[in-house]
Amino acid sequence: MCYNIHMNRLDIFNPFCAPVYYAPSVGSTMDEAQSLARAGAPGGTVVCADYQKAGRGRGVGRAWEARAGQSLLFTILLRFPGSWEIPQALTLRAGLAVALAIEDFSLALAGRARIKWPNDVMLPTPRGMRKAAGILAEADEYCVRLGIGVNVSQAGFPAELEGKATSVALASGEAVESARRFELLGKILARLCAELKPDGATAWRERAEERLHMRDEVGLFAEGAIGSSPPFAAVIAGIGLDGELLIVPEGAIEVRAFVTGEQMMGYAHRDRGKSGGDLGCVMRAAQQDVQGRVLLGGVPAQGVRERRGDTA
């Protein structure tokens, strides 16, 4: 059945056994996917585009911007009988799938991709890890929609993003032809299908923790809305059963869950200094402007217990 005549169907193997649609330009792949869902498209249907006129991230005023053909931009529909059937930590597990697929795609990056809680994929650069991909989850009565954006062939970024973003091409040191983004799409779908299968209570957590960005390092966090509380330092200890980040705040000895708030870009580090051994926070990275923060938290409609992140 043809649900949307302005999009072409790509000849890409989809392990979800559903069509993969493509258009050079759309308003948003999330919006197109929602329209398909309402028209009865099956779970696993994919919508991808070279350019989004109104691509978005989580939160008011946040957008996903990419030049045509340089990024892989797509949304996949996931249908479940009820919210209780939605896999735990859906966005986080999708990020793990993207990280593994990037490594499948580029041998130069094998074992080097990391997932930044809750929804980003980080790749190495000479100046540290930088964001290369982001995931946005939305849900309504029709389905869950996972929007995924991956920087693929960019050879550089605008000045305001140089310290924050990278691409598969930059991180691997190898030029990537634009047409190969569909090869990467196939690898992501294969990994995503595998990662979302029921596999016990802990297997996905173990895989995610192995690749958790900044694990055992000290980061800066603030709870609640932006600017509503002062930042605090905490060691990133792991991932909880529901996908929450586990941290040990400065001065504490017990692990606690961090669910809603913000993880500031950059690192804090332990500085014993003159205080005789107490931990001190020293920022050594990005400006703490709105675009340089990652909001954590938020629950999609219809009772979905997924913490959504920011793909802006």
Beta bridge partners of 46: 20, 76
Residue 84: other Cβ atoms inside 10 A: 8
Instruction: Note the pLDDT of residue 40.
Output: 93
Instruction: Note the pLDDT of residue 90.
Output: 93
Domain boundaries along the sequence of the chain? 8-211, 218-294
Does the domain formed by 8-211 have CATH 3.40.50.2300? no
Instruction: Note the pLDDT of residue 137.
Output: 94
Question: In the predicted model, is pLDDT for residue 293 greater than 70?
Answer: no
Give CA–CA dist 264/251, Å, rounded.
19
Residue 15: other Cβ atoms inside 10 A: 13
pLDDT tens profile 194-219: 999 876 556 889 999 999 999 999 99
What single letter denotes the amino acid at residue 262? Answer: E
Tokens of 130: 């930088």
Task: Indicate if the alpha-carbon torsion angle 248, 130, 134, 282 is positive or negative.
Answer: positive
- Share above pLDDT 70 across residues of the chain, in percent, rounded to a whole number: 77
Give CA–CA dist 99/110, Å, rounded.
10
Instruction: Note the pLDDT of residue 288.
Output: 30
pLDDT tens profile 235-279: 999 999 889 999 999 999 999 999 877 777 666 654 433 333 333
15 φ, ψ (degrees, to nearest 5): -65, -15
Tokens of 76: 């996949």
Question: In the predicted model, is pLDDT for residue 59 greater than 70?
Answer: no
Give CA–CA dist 133/112, Å, rounded.
14
pLDDT tens profile 136-148: 999 987 799 999 9
Residue range 72-81: average pLDDT?
Answer: 95
Instruction: Specify the pairing of strand 46-52 against strand 20-26.
Output: parallel
Residue range 52-66: average pLDDT?
Answer: 55
What single letter denotes the amino acid at residue 256? Answer: R
- The answer to whether residues 266 and 284 touch, using CB atoms and an 8 Å cutoff, is yes
